[in-house]
Chains A and B, each alone.
Chain A
Amino acid sequence: MPTGNLRRGSADVAPAAASRDAGTGRSLLTGLNRIRRRGSAPSGESSWGATIAQLVALTVIAVVFAASGVPAEYITLGVTVFIYAILASAIALLYHDGGLLSVAHGGLWGVGAYAAAVLVTKYNWQLGPVVLAAALAAGIVGMSLASISTRVAGSYFIIILFAVSEVIYGVMINWNSVTNGAEGIVLATPASLFGYRISTNMQWYYVTLITLLVVLLLLRVIKQSQLGQHLRAIRDSRPLATSVGISVARVHMASFAITGAMAGISGVYWAYLEKYVVPSQFSATASISFVVVVLLGGSAYLLGPLLGAVVVIFLPSLLHLSPLLADALIGVIFIAVILLFPEGVVGLVTWSLRLLMARTGLGRWLGPPGGKAPADEAGDTQQPVRPEHESRPAEEGLREA
């Protein structure tokens, strides 16, 4: 039904419910938590061992790649991949755990980039304070998105976030005194961090890699934290989450602020890498390409968005295609992934690997989030494997007849 996916007023109900039912709600959730921890990892997460293994593997591969003497342009592409992955991983948290498909994060990315460009060129700030300020700015703008997500859901939410990204773009292009309008700002000063100059792309490669690792670790912590639990509870059923005392407004504000801040940090690096910021980099088109990156890789997996970024960034230069054809090809691959492998490329890879390694026990390291636990853990309290969002109430009523 066109109007069936409207939600309103849940934010108003929440505080009252919280004061009344806080005790019950919390004990219910921690109870659930305990049950899940004993069995397999809670939905949306693999075990901590697997997380550490993945991050170590990422570090090793990234360092070997950089040290193996690949051409300089590949290092630049690598920096771009890390920058994209920071932002895409943040979007993936909102989509997978929150059921919120944000098409405004490209704009928040731009807020971070512009904050960097302005603070560096006009006030000559150092990298550390610039990153903090950009995270703060993008985080605050991001937090305001919660005022939308608490009122409308599903399709309406997506469309309004498109409007938000247009507003951010319009402000960038019109606020001449600060953003220099459509001409943009050149950012040629090398960054300095704790007295070190960061100017070469190889240095940026490691700076962005370390940031990405921190962001991934943080996202992993958030997924397991109460915030993550609440975010998933709201995704699965807003009325139910509200009834056990979860404040939709507070949880969404925190989630948008955190992911917005990550977008802002990513934007700072982008400004330094490109040495030039201009509004057209941060339009709705940018947001769309990040959504493509997230879902191509698979939003359910910690490294999914990173893999999506690798495909999107490296494919054109590996195939020596013209940028236009490469983008069209990515569109084709994207549609195929959405229709055939809804869990993304990582989902496809883990699925085939698990098929291969079913008996070796290696499969546990690649266990899908909330999916079937490996054989040795199986048995006690597994959650049924359910494709994400399959049962989201926002979409019921739109089933195929």
Chain B
Amino acid sequence: MNEQLLQQGFNVLSSASVYALVAIGLSVIFGLSGIINIAYGDFMTLGAYVVFVVAPGGAIAFIWGFAASAVAVAVLSIVLERALFRWTLIRPVNGFLVSLGLAQIIENGVAWHFGQDSVTVAPANSANWTLGGVIMSADRVIIILGTIALVVGLILFLDRTQTGTAIRAIAADREAAALMGIPVTRLVTGVFALGGLIAGLGGGFVALLQPPYPLLGAELVLKGFVVALVGGLGSVRGAVIGAVLLAFIETVLVTAGLAGWLDVIEFGAVILLLIIRPQGLARGLAHSM
């Protein structure tokens, strides 16, 4: 019984990792620019496909796959921010609309180039470790540890460094931050790059969990938003808490045999929560990062 519980806990953590990465990326970008970037999930899809192109055979080549996807998606994010999102910062709704167009381009482009079916990526490490009766596939351990490292690094960066403080200042009040001499536009670009980096790594992790297909990210992104919303859009810690909560609820529901109604219950609960408590569970980037 105890072992079963631990096993469930392990599974919860590995799916929470992916949700957390999506939600954090969305959250940080929203906190700084006010843009709901619905194409963010598709950035992850691109990351997963970069891994597929660079390291289809898995094993040690995965390190190169991760590096390539992180760099590629980060660079893409910078380009898109400079070329498109920059012009929508005054009216973030337009940023959302632009991201709708981007999502359409990426999803259809990927489907056209790689085909609509999923592609296979061999595992990075096919070993299964058993620890205290809990079976842990090496890939999931990589995902969990990688996510924890990323989250801790991100929180330290935002809390402790001067750049992180500047980013939080922009999230709190863009104009005041600019008056204090903070290079606002450059940091917004920087945060888009950071978001791209997270999406690239997250895409790599997802490729380890399941075979990539063109709509992979599109299906993740709505859950990512829900997680971010529950955690309070803009808050990194909130996103992590929300992700663990979501993964936990999913595991419970699946165990209870309600797998089909999963989305209805989750999204329905979030709607109710937001009707009762519109500000979410945590507060935004500026307050509680």
Which residues of chain A have a CB within 8 Å of any CB of chain B?
A: 1-3, 6-8, 101, 147-148, 151-152, 154-156, 158-160, 162-164, 166-167, 169-171, 173-174, 284-285, 288, 291-292, 295, 322, 324-325, 327-328, 330-332, 334-335, 338-339, 342, 389-390, 395, 397-401
Q: Decide: A3 near B96, CB < 8 A? Known: A156-B274, A401-B177.
A: no
Does the CB pair A291–B229 fall under 8 Å?
A: no
| A171 CA / B268 CA spacing, docked (Å) | 11
Q: Which residues on B sit within 8 Å (CB–CB) of A339?
A: 84, 87-88, 94, 98
B213 to chain A, nearest CB (A): 14
CB distance from A392 to the nearest CB of B (A): 9
A263, chain B: closest CB distance, angstroms: 19
The answer to whether B274 touches A2, judged by C-beta atoms less than 8 angstroms apart, is no
Can you sample 15 A-B contacts with CB below 8 Å?
A1-B171, A2-B232, A155-B233, A163-B270, A170-B262, A292-B100, A292-B101, A322-B112, A331-B103, A334-B100, A335-B101, A395-B92, A399-B90, A400-B184, A401-B178
In the complex, residue of chain A having the shortest beta-carbon distance to the beta carbon of B284? A2
A101 touches B284 (CB 8 A): no
Selected from A162, A295, A342, the residue in CB contact (under 8 A) with B225 is A162
Contact of B112 among A174, A324, A399 (CB under 8 A): A324
Does A6 contact B279, Cβ atoms closer than 8 Å?
Answer: yes
B248 shortest CB reach to chain A, Å: 19
We find that the number of chain B residues with CB closer than 8 angstroms to chain A is 65
Check B233 against A156 for contact (C-beta < 8 Å): yes
- The contact string, 1 if C-beta is below 8 Å from chain A, for chain B 245-289, is 000000000000000111110011011001100110001111000
Chain A residues within 8 Å of B96, by CB:
101, 155, 158
A160 and B264: CB pair below 8 A?
no
Q: How far is the CA of A148 from the CA of B174 in the complex (A)?
A: 28
Knowing A2-B233, A155-B30, say if A327 contacts B271 (CB, 8 Å). Answer: no
Q: How far is the CB of B176 from chain A (nearest CB, A)?
A: 9
Q: Say yes or no: is B34 at the interface (Cβ < 8 Å to chain A).
A: yes
Residues of A with C-beta under 8 A to B218: 285
Judged by a CB distance under 8 angstroms, whether B108 is at the interface is yes
The digit string for B100-130, where 1 denotes a CB below 8 A from any CB of A, is 1111110111011000000000000000000
Contacts of B107 in A (CB 8 A): 327
Q: Is B267 a contact partner of A155 (Cβ separation < 8 A)? A: no
A155-B92 contact in complex given A2-B234, A166-B263, A167-B268, C-beta closer than 8 Å: yes
Residues of A within 8 A of B93 (CB): 101, 154, 389, 395
Asked whether A151 lies within 8 Å of B278 as measured between CB atoms, the reply is yes
Q: Which residue of A lies closest to B92 (CB)?
A: A398
Per the bound structure, the CA–CA distance linking A152 and B108 in Å amounts to: 32
> Would you call B31 an interface residue if the criterion is a C-beta within 8 Å of the partner chain's C-beta atoms?
yes
Residue A331 contacts which of B91, B101, B225 (CB distance < 8 angstroms)? B101
Q: How many Å lie between the Cα of A395 and that of B94 in the bound state?
A: 11
**B229 proximity list for chain A (CB < 8 A):** 156, 159-160
B175 beta carbon closer than 8 Å to chain A = yes
7 closest residue pairs by CB, A with B: A2-B284, A401-B178, A331-B104, A170-B264, A2-B234, A331-B105, A335-B101
